[in-house]
Amino acid sequence: MTRRTAACRCGQLRAECTGEPVRVSVCHCLNCKQRSGSAFAVQARFPAGQVTITGRSTEWIAASESGGLPASFHFCPICGGNVWYSGGGIPDAIAIPVGHFADPGFPAPTVSVYEERQCPWLEIIGPVEHHG
């Protein structure tokens, strides 16, 4: 069984994941752009029962850009890394920004959402579902 570890930059907040993610997605919404500090965000979702969180976190609850269900974001109180979040449209999953795995071989995204907000100079290629 595959085991992956995601961690903040200082290593205090960690997420141990067992098995493969149920979804790896790219999001171009403005909330995800602000959360990631980049032109888009890439996150992997795992069933909540396959993720073990260790360390302390600061929680921030925020509504989705579309006005959907809020999500609970968890940040390291030392370095500020947003290691995981839950809620929103997929309540029984833990979402982890892929960069926290620090693994260049991590599975590629299969879904790209909020593409109406995608930067015009960006192209998501490969076998990916594209959603407005």
The dihedral sign for the CA sequence 82, 102, 99, 23: negative
Tokens for 126, please give them: 């490969």
| pLDDT tens-digit readout, 59-101 | 999 987 777 789 999 999 999 999 999 988 788 999 999 999 9
pLDDT at 57: 98
| pLDDT tens-digit readout, 37-60 | 999 999 999 999 999 999 999 999
User: Which residues is 6 bridged to in the sheet?
Assistant: 15
Rounded to whole angstroms, how far apart are CA atoms 116 and 98?
Answer: 22
**pLDDT greater than 80 at residue 120:** yes
User: Which residues is 89 bridged to in the sheet?
Assistant: none
Rounded to whole angstroms, how far apart are CA atoms 93 and 44?
Answer: 10
Rounded to whole angstroms, how far apart are CA atoms 38 and 87?
Answer: 22
Contact yes or no for 6/14 (Cβ under 8 A): yes
| Mean pLDDT confidence for 30-39 | 94
